Chain A
Amino acid sequence: MIDVRVQSSVFDVGEEQRYLLAGRCDIGAVVTFTGLVRDVNERPDVQALSLEHYPGMTEAALRDIAEQATSRWPLEGVRIVHRVGRLSPSDPIVMVMVASAHRRAAFDACDFLMDHLKTRAPFWKKEHTASGTYWVSARDSDVRAADRWEEA
């Protein structure tokens, strides 16, 4: 039901969806978010990105976020793949795939998962540009995005 992976190799969204749906006839909606490396971020000439994580905690944090989503929405499956190591612009970096009987739960849960992944999973990006290498700063907008899910 919940599958989380951290890997350096590329992933294939089609293949991930086939695994998620194998033998299932009760799923009516799959929503997938795929994050890609942009060549414009803090500086306009990003040549590469290296991603560091905290092995052990990363997997636990992703699983915890996925469990929160499944307790909040009626989900039939969650798959999260996050890449680490060195990536180039246009490379896929993260995939969050959510399956449910109906679309609304899948859309909302996918949004929730990404907001929390960005603020709670221990990944750090370093950008390599023609003018130097630096660690990417956290964004307040990401924190606000995650905060809006807080239940009153």
Chain B
Amino acid sequence: MSLTHLNARGEAHMVDVGDKAETQREAVASGRIVMRPDTLALLAEGGLPKGDVLATARIAGIQAAKRTHELIPLCHALLLSKVSVDFRLDEAASCVHVESRCRLAGRTGVEMEALTAVSVACLTLYDMCKAVDKDMTIDGVCLEHKTGGKSGEWHRAAEEVPATREASETPPVGVAAIRVKFLAELRERLDTEEVEVPVASLKSLDVASLKAALEARDSRFAALSAARILCAVDHAMAHDDTTLREGDEVAFFPPVTGG
């Protein structure tokens, strides 16, 4: 196996595809962008400040596929016969799955075009949503399958679904910690959605000590001691004396304004 973009001297070069047979080629790539559930809900309802997010990301992906040769140094300019970019909103994993399919009759594969389309569609989703969620992550960008050409058909072997963001934020086993969430206006003011506080850093296992440990970590958290800020431990309203157990989820939030 050798790298076709390196010549005999190990220098980068563009492969001469003039002698290769023209075949029908297709490549499918996928990826995803993980975001907060409320960001996904805004996206689903068209409530984001920059407008129709998915339509914009789709056009961005298609445009990017057509210009792949300008971005990736040794790629050929291709006359694509088809580029599609599709989105699937996944509430369970709190992400948008992006899939691109590129096709042409030609002498070179279209997997770079499909991967570029997915990447740029994800980047555009990030750009369109970043006003409300800067914590989004783009991951799992990969080739799903390709057909045509000398190497014939290739499919990605089935693998486990990557862990969701919730799962990846769970503290590693053996490190006793309290998960602390900040909600609504408080989250925006602190510019923090969630932190973990090791149980070992608490003087005693109660909410007052948790506030003290957070304030010791960063003076911004002094805001948690304001009388109006409410607190819940494991989804029940709590106060400074409420006892904590390791693994508890503690939330701080401003007075509620529903109804």
Contacts and interface: CB of A to CB of B under 8 A. Distances in A.
A123 B236 contact: no
A55 B257 CA distance: 15
Interface stretch (A66-74, A78-86, A102-110): A78-86
B258 A124 contact: yes
Contacts of B236: 57, 60
Interface in B2-46: 37-38, 41-42, 44-46
Interface stretch (A13-21, A22-30, A131-139): A131-139
Interface string B157-182: 00000000000000000000000010
A121 B237 CA distance: 10
Interface string B228-259: 10001001110000000000000101111111
Contacts of B255: 137-138
Given A94-B258, A118-B257, 18 more contacts: A8-B44, A48-B47, A50-B42, A52-B184, A53-B258, A54-B183, A94-B259, A117-B259, A118-B258, A118-B259, A119-B256, A122-B232, A123-B258, A124-B253, A125-B258, A126-B184, A135-B188, A138-B257
B135 interface: no
B257 A57 contact: no
B160 to A, nearest CB: 25
B38 A57 contact: no
B191 interface: no
B153 interface: no
B70 interface: no
B256 A120 contact: yes
B185 interface: yes
Interface of B: 37-38, 41-42, 44-47, 181, 183-185, 188, 228, 232, 235-237, 251, 253-259
B42 A85 contact: yes
A122 B185 contact: no
Interface in A31-60: 35, 48, 50-57, 60
Q: Which 3 A-B pairs have the closest CB atoms?
A: A123-B258, A86-B47, A138-B255
Contacts of A54: 181, 183, 232, 235, 251, 253
Contact of A122 (B42, B46, B183, B188): B183
Contacts of B188: 135
A57 B231 CA distance: 11
A114 interface: yes
A85 B46 CA distance: 10
Contacts of B38: 52, 84-85
Interface in A1-20: 8
A85 B47 contact: yes
Contacts of B259: 35, 82, 93-94, 114, 117-118, 121, 123
Contacts of A86: 41-42, 45-47
B43 to A, nearest CB: 10
A138 B41 CA distance: 24
